Amino acid sequence: MAPSSAEADSAVSSSGRLLVLYASQTGNAMDAAERVGREAERGGCPAVDVLSMDSFDPSRLPSERFVVFVVSTTGQGDPPDSMKGFWRYMLRKDLDRQWLEGIHHAVFGLGDSGYQKYNFAAKKLDRRLLHLGAEPVLEIGLGDDQHPSGYEGALDPWLLSMWKSLNEINPSLLPRVSDINDPNLSFLGDPKVHVIYYSSNEVTQDPILLDSNKIISSARSMSPALRFHADGEPPYMLQMVKKQCLTKEGTDRDVRHFELEDPSSAMAINYKIGDALEILPSQNPSAVDAFIERCNLDPDCYITIRVRSGDKVFKGSVEQMDRIKLRTFVALTMDVVSASPRRYFFEVMSFFATSEREKERLQYFASPEGRDDLYQYNQKESRTVLEVLEDFPSVQMPFEWLVQLTPPLKKRAFSISSSPLAHPNQIHLTVSVVAWVTPFKRTRRGLCSTWLAGLNPNKGNLIPCWIHQGSLPPPRPLVPLVLIGPGTGCAPFRAFVEERAAQAAAEPTAPVLFFFGCRNQENDFLYKDFWLTHAQDEGVLSSKRGGGFFVAFSRDQPQKVYVQHKIMEQSSRVWNLLLSDAVIYIAGSSTKMPADVTAALEEVICKEGGVKQADASKWLRDLERAGRLNIETWS
């Protein structure tokens, strides 16, 4: 397959190729797009390019003839970061209804039906393509994380239909379905990367190599999965100075409060309320060593990784910083201890299995017939790359394939729960330490939250951090606020209340209503003293200032009580603030909460405003478009 780069985009005649454009946030859409490209090549398509949307010039779209779009949806119906520039161009008003005439397109979306705006980004793209004159090859495909087989439950039949339709449109150019699905096809091809090895005595120890920021940047920019999304050196290497358990010991929830600061500077950390802190977690060193040993690799050798294009390897200039210790590269870029490998990983493994029994099982897992069993074995059990390799001991995959196919070690994002006005050189986080039990009763733990919980404050552990603009824009002091954040959804609103309190000491501020929810008053009333203090006397949540703090304990009485019930109880207060141009902020779980809270707000508008349900829904949509309804959720 041709390299995913802007150079590849111009290397092939547009009219004689199949172009696959993807927008991925977690890697699933990229994986699905690359599968489209592999199947096209297997079927004899003469030219295939698989490109991330942010590496393609959208003004050149009219020169294409066959384009497949693979798009994931994030948050509350948002497009991935890599799609935002492309989407802005597609919305230009000077593009007419004939702009994409002559283009055949197909759209596959990846989403989660547990979210309100399921596959919203893909659906909007499909509608816009139709509006601009493109002709659909088939109906949009909708992958669903809730499906028993994940998104592949919809992708398998959708791809088969797409190839059949493309055959009918242009049988001479596009893939032969019989070739794509040939069970006897046994050609693997070359990996996308080439690894150059150096012994340790070939590499002079330049002092710059000891700079951990530069090592992180070098390793992650060298990774084929991360090079387009690497954010350079971490701007902050923060140290944990305090951790505190916010939930009662012995309960089934473990939520911690962490305080981080920059030990190298007394200057303020540059962030705003509503921002998120992205953290690169450390993998368990013994597990990294076990992976390296299982793969028969030399942890102390140095490597340089270069991208292949056909038979060529683009080496560029090899500087000292291009050489990195293999163990360091694995630890910083390859998630071997928490992420489950993709389906193609099993297909490639089958080529290197020397045990006939293992080869047959891997081929079955990689086949459409074995899709459901693979999902149960792999994703449902959260099997790691290391565990999968240990389950198939006869497989010895070359390091090039492991570099290409091991899921990348991703940064984890957490809402910042402090205000820079109150803590200029600190960032506070509210983190649920994640643990769950698989269908086979194996306990699994979240990589980053477990690592953070295990750190000892003031012991010198440095945490690589990036500040990322969140989806909750900071409000001006004179804007009234309605904050709704059950559970750890309260994290950004602790920052909002701290900021409003600091502002109130120096200037007039508007009222704040905060609706919080948890299971029990005794077990998981997060930041209880903080909220109650600000709700008393002249605090920003006090009724004297026109504010209020309302908490729902869902399990402390026979009937369940949630934040939406408290919103309805305070409908007149909520309505009065909305009439005063209040901004609504919602944060928390992405499952039922946003829909239930939105329904409660609509009910408030109906009841207090005397309008019909449809008008209340439109009212809320107008608020959202005006920036007065902001939602940040996570699964």
pLDDT at 316 over 50: no
pLDDT at 3 over 50: no
Cα gap 38→35, rounded to integer Å: 5
Q: Is residue 145 within 8 Å of 159, Cβ to Cβ?
A: no
pLDDT at 311: 44
Q: Is 449 annotated as contributing to ligand binding?
A: yes
Q: Return the SS3 of 135.
A: strand
Place of tokens 């904050």: 483
Two tokens at 354? 């020397």
Mean pLDDT for the stretch of residues 165-194: 71
Residue closest to 399 by CA, chosen among 197, 230, 220, 221: 197
pLDDT at 179: 58
Q: What is the dihedral of CA 287, 289, 291, 293, to 10 degrees?
A: -140
Lowest mean pLDDT among 13-17, 69-73, 569-573: 13-17
Q: Is 555 annotated as contributing to ligand binding?
A: yes
Q: Is 587 annotated as contributing to ligand binding?
A: no
Mean pLDDT for the stretch of residues 2-17: 44
Mean pLDDT for the stretch of residues 482-510: 97
Two tokens at 217? 């940047």
Q: Is 529 annotated as contributing to ligand binding?
A: no
Q: Is 464 left (phi over 0), alpha (psi -120 to 50) or beta?
A: beta
pLDDT at 9: 39
pLDDT at 77 over 90: no
Q: Is 96 annotated as contributing to ligand binding?
A: no
Q: Is 434 annotated as contributing to ligand binding?
A: no
Q: Is 73 annotated as contributing to ligand binding?
A: yes
Q: What is the dihedral of CA 578, 580, 585, 586, to 10 degrees?
A: -20
**Which residues of the chain does CATH 3.40.50.360 include?**
6-180
pLDDT in tens, 267-313: 789 999 999 999 999 999 999 999 999 999 999 999 999 887 654 44
State phi, psi for 512 to the nearest 5 degrees: -130, 125
Q: How confident is the model at residue 208 (pLDDT cuts 50, 70, 90)?
A: very low
For all residues of the chain together, what is the average pLDDT? 89
Q: Return the SS3 of 279.
A: strand
pLDDT at 238: 95
pLDDT at 2: 41
Residue closest to 9 by CA, chosen among 55, 44, 69: 55
Q: Is residue 485 within 8 Å of 407, Cβ to Cβ?
A: no
Chain-centre distance of CA 393, in angstroms? Answer: 32
Residue closest to 236 by CA, chosen among 279, 193, 273: 279
Place of tokens 């999902």: 375
Measure Cα distances from 374 to 86, 266, 379, 414, 426 in Å.
35, 52, 8, 31, 44
pLDDT at 318: 42
Q: What is the crossing angle of helices 28-42 and 343-352, to 10°?
A: 50
What is the maximal distance between C-alpha atoms in the chain?
79
The residues, any chain, with a CB within 8 Å of residue 434's CB and separated by 6 or more, are 445, 446, 449, 450
pLDDT at 612 over 80: yes
State phi, psi for 74 to the nearest 5 degrees: -120, 160
Please provide the CATH number assigned to the domain covering 481-634: 3.40.50.80
Measure Cα distances from 279 to 304, 400, 410, 444, 490 in Å.
25, 27, 9, 20, 20
Q: Return the SS3 of 297.
A: coil
Cα gap 276→268, rounded to integer Å: 16
pLDDT at 117: 83
pLDDT at 590: 76
Q: Is 564 annotated as contributing to ligand binding?
A: yes
Q: How confident is the model at residue 180 (pLDDT cuts 50, 70, 90)?
A: low
Q: Is 560 annotated as contributing to ligand binding?
A: yes
pLDDT at 574 over 50: yes
Q: What's the whole-model pTM score?
A: 0.88
3-state helix, strand, coil in the chain (%, to 5): 40, 20, 40
pLDDT at 555 over 70: yes
pLDDT in tens, 254-265: 999 999 999 987
Q: How confident is the model at residue 356 (pLDDT cuts 50, 70, 90)?
A: very high
pLDDT at 295: 97
**Which residues of the chain does CATH 3.40.50.80 include?**
481-634
pLDDT at 453: 96
pLDDT at 226: 81
Task: Round to the nearest angstrom and report the end-to-end CA distance of the chain.
Answer: 34
Q: Is 239 annotated as contributing to ligand binding?
A: no
Strand locations in 112-189 (E): 135-136, 141-144
Q: Is 145 annotated as contributing to ligand binding?
A: yes
Q: Is 562 annotated as contributing to ligand binding?
A: yes
Cα gap 230→432, rounded to integer Å: 26
CATH architecture of 6-180: 3-Layer(aba) Sandwich (3.40)
Q: Is 554 annotated as contributing to ligand binding?
A: yes
pLDDT in tens, 439-480: 999 999 999 999 999 999 988 899 999 999 888 999 999 999
Which position has the higher pLDDT, 528 or 219?
Answer: 528
Chain-centre distance of CA 320, in angstroms? Answer: 32
Q: Is 74 annotated as contributing to ligand binding?
A: yes
Q: What is the crossing angle of helices 343-352 and 356-366, to 10°?
A: 150
pLDDT at 314 over 50: no
Q: What is the dihedral of CA 326, 327, 331, 332, to 10 degrees?
A: -40
Q: Is 596 annotated as contributing to ligand binding?
A: yes
pLDDT at 175: 59
pLDDT in tens, 534-551: 999 999 999 999 999 999
pLDDT at 588 over 60: yes
Residue 283 DSSP symbol = P
Q: Is 634 annotated as contributing to ligand binding?
A: yes
pLDDT at 635: 73
Q: Is 489 annotated as contributing to ligand binding?
A: no
Q: Is 488 annotated as contributing to ligand binding?
A: yes
pLDDT at 184 over 80: no
pLDDT at 188 over 50: yes
Cβ-count burial 35-50 (b if 16+ within 10 Å, e if not): bbbbbbbbbebebbbb
Q: Return the SS3 of 427.
A: strand
